[in-house]
């Protein structure tokens, strides 16, 4: 295992031809500081044992691996779920937020700044800030604030300041710009905490490393349950953090087939999906290189998915590299398949999945039918409580 992680990313933060850092010089200086701190602090015995303690006693790790027997009987193969939905706050995001916030504390930072789209990253970060007694400032588009009211209230209850972003389309892209601006005004006391394996170096590496615990646990747990490794891994890909978490535990296990599932939304037409690697081309977004969905002018294109955590017109640089290497197969599930999986898993197993995670479940069900003798380990990245009102109001109960 050691070798892959030693060379990816390289010392410039490149994953093959992707990643890197293409940002203004003053911001670059701060990124260099974070990179240095990450290498010196996060590998220390004290940091590792503190993080381990937090994971066990605050987050509730290890999360179980569960054999979904009824769903498997229905589909054919053997489907297993890594239950990241049982993490505190209900998703995998807390894995990297606690890591980023702990690093902030060691660096002497007083404040965490981030953007949020649907509010999931904002809530996870506000939770981490409350735990460590740090200030927290979350930038969020006005349109999203209106749409995601419960998450706004959660962040405020947790003590975070939610900053409404009122320019442009008033959604995620503007929120990123606004959060970066705020951070640049105060780079000494504040630190920027990104929400996935995206952004300039060192974030894609740091977030992956904090998520690796998912894959390391899952590999041990699966082996203990079955005496072998899974034939297939499946995870949904927005920016790609939950997927990299699971995949990184198995990257050198050449017999394990790996699938990343992108949202196909309503159709393959531009603007109706967010399948960045399936339909996109290499380009630049938010200071790094990766597969992107762009319009004719080279601007990030409008994207759509039923799962708001998946609608990003870029993707992690490591996924971009793993696609080109052919190590991971990137496939799609559309809104209808996602909804079907959402209800099937709820009714058959008593687990309501996040709409994001339901994309992975949908593809796993398809794969199980094609390969009935094989095992499939799915990363169930989050629980679906946040989605129930939206689903029932728009699609009814199926």
Ligand X SMILES: *Cc1c(COP(=O)(O)O)cnc(C)c1O
Binding site for ligand X (CB under 6 A): 91, 93, 120, 196, 236-243, 309-310, 354, 356-357, 381-382
Measured between alpha carbons, how far is 398 from 396 in angstroms, rounded to an integer? 6
Residue corresponding to tokens 């990137």: 330
Structure tokens given for 336: 């209808």
Calculate the CA dihedral of residues 112, 117, 121, 124 and round it to 10 degrees.
90
Please confirm whether the linkage preceding 189 is cis (ω < 30° from 0). Answer: no
Measured between alpha carbons, how far is 200 from 198 in angstroms, rounded to an integer? 7
- State which residue, 187 or 203, has the beta carbon closest to ligand X: 203
- Is 337 catalytic? The answer is no
Measured between alpha carbons, how far is 262 from 56 in angstroms, rounded to an integer? 31
Closest residue to ligand X, judged by C-beta, is: 382
- State which residue, 187 or 346, has the beta carbon closest to ligand X: 346
- Considering the complex, what minimum distance in angstroms separates the CB of residue 193 from ligand X? 13
- Considering the complex, what minimum distance in angstroms separates the CB of residue 196 from ligand X? 3
- Considering the complex, what minimum distance in angstroms separates the CB of residue 119 from ligand X? 10
- Is 115 catalytic? The answer is yes
Task: Tell me which residue of 119, 303, 325, 330 sits closest to 237, measured CA to CA.
Answer: 330
Structure tokens given for 2: 């050691």
Which one of 174, 308, 381, 386 is the catalytic residue? 381
Measured between alpha carbons, how far is 259 from 232 in angstroms, rounded to an integer? 7
- State which residue, 115 or 356, has the beta carbon closest to ligand X: 356
- Considering the complex, what minimum distance in angstroms separates the CB of residue 355 from ligand X? 8
- State which residue, 77 or 122, has the beta carbon closest to ligand X: 122
Measured between alpha carbons, how far is 125 from 192 in angstroms, rounded to an integer? 11
Residue corresponding to tokens 């991971």: 328
Instruction: List the beta bridge partners of residue 378.
Output: 81, 234
- H-helix or E-strand spanning residue 14: strand 14-15
The burial class, CB within 10 Å (0-12 / 13-18 / 19+), for 283 is: middle
**In a 3-state reduction of DSSP, which class is residue 6?**
helix
- Considering the complex, what minimum distance in angstroms separates the CB of residue 243 from ligand X? 6
Which one of 84, 100, 115, 318 is the catalytic residue? 115
- Considering the complex, what minimum distance in angstroms separates the CB of residue 334 from ligand X? 16
- State which residue, 120 or 171, has the beta carbon closest to ligand X: 120
Q: Are 262 and 331 in contact (CB under 8 A)?
A: yes
- State which residue, 115 or 187, has the beta carbon closest to ligand X: 115
Measured between alpha carbons, how far is 237 from 389 in angstroms, rounded to an integer? 23
Which one of 72, 84, 93, 356 is the catalytic residue? 93
Active centre residues (catalytic): 93, 115, 381
């Amino acid at each position: 295992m050691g070798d892959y992680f030693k060379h990816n990313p390289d010392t410039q933060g490149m994953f093959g031809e992707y990643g890197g850092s293409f940002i203004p010089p003053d911001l670059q200086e701060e990124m260099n500081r974070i990179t240095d701190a990450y290498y010196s602090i996060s590998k220390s015995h004290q940091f590792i044992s503190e993080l381990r303690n937090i994971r066990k006693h605050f987050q509730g790790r290890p999360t179980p691996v569960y054999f979904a027997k009824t769903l498997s009987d229905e589909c054919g193969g053997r489907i297993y779920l890594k239950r990241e939905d049982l993490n505190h706050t209900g998703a995998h995001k807390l894995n990297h937020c606690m890591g980023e916030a702990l690093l902030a504390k060691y660096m002497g930072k007083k404040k965490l700044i981030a953007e949020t789209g649907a509010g999931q990253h904002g809530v996870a970060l506000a939770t981490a800030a409350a735990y460590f007694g740090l200030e927290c400032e979350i930038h969020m588009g006005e349109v999203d604030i209106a749409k995601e009211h419960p998450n706004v209230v959660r962040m405020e209850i947790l003590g975070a300041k939610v900053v409404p972003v009122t320019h442009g389309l008033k959604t995620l892209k503007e929120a990123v710009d606004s959060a970066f601006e705020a951070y640049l005004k105060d780079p000494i006391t504040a630190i920027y905490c990104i929400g996935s394996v995206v952004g300039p170096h060192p974030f894609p590496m740091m977030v992956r490393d904090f998520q690796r615990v998912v894959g390391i646990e899952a590999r041990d747990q699966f082996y203990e349950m079955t005496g072998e490794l899974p034939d297939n891994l499946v995870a949904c890909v927005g920016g790609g953090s939950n997927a990299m978490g699971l995949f990184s535990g198995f990257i050198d296990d050449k017999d394990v087939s790996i699938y990343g599932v992108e949202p196909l939304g309503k159709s393959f037409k531009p603007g109706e999906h967010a399948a960045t690697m399936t339909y996109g081309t290499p380009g630049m977004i938010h200071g790094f290189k990766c597969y992107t969905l762009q319009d004719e002018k080279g601007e990030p294109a409008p994207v759509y998915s039923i799962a708001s955590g998946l609608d990003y017109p870029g993707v992690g640089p490591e996924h971009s590299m793993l696609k080109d290497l052919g190590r991971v197969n990137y496939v799609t599930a559309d809104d209808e398949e996602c909804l079907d999986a959402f209800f099937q898993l709820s009714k058959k197993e008593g687990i309501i999945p996040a709409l994001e995670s339901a994309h992975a479940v949908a593809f796993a069900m398809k794969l199980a039918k094609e390969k009935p003798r094989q095992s499939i380990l799915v990363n169930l990245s989050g629980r679906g409580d946040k989605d129930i009102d939206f689903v029932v109001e728009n699609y009814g109960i199926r």
